[in-house]
Amino acid sequence: MRRVAQVIRVRPEQSERYRDLHRDVPQPVLDTLRDCRIGNYSIHLLGDLLFGYFEYHGDDLAADMARMAADETTQAWWRLTAPCQQPVEQAAPGEWWASMEQIFHMP
């Protein structure tokens, strides 16, 4: 299992919309996450920072992320959520949610 932590900004004027969207995530989007071997997924908010955490239970995260990105229902979901988000300054070129380095874990 691989732990993945990511960060992005929520646009302040879109904060309530983002919250509302996540009160009712479409079941097909959740199914795709699970089909792509993602579990224990959560998103947290502090100020304008969104922190996402999930556990990946596969062997090829890049391939599963590509498969997720190809899913039409997920693409539709992202068209709703993307206008609410803004990459952080530390994001690599082309990176939306910036991956974070794990520096500590207590099992």
Q: Where are the domains of the chain?
A: 2-99
pLDDT digits (tens, 9 = 90+) for 64-76: 999 999 999 999 9
CA-based torsion, 82, 41, 97, 51: positive or negative: positive
Q: Does domain 2-99 have CATH number 3.40.50.720?
A: no
Which tokens in the block code for residue 4? 């993945």
- For position 17, what pLDDT does the model report? 97
pLDDT digits (tens, 9 = 90+) for 76-101: 999 999 999 999 999 999 999 999 99
Distance CA 70, CA 67 (A): 5
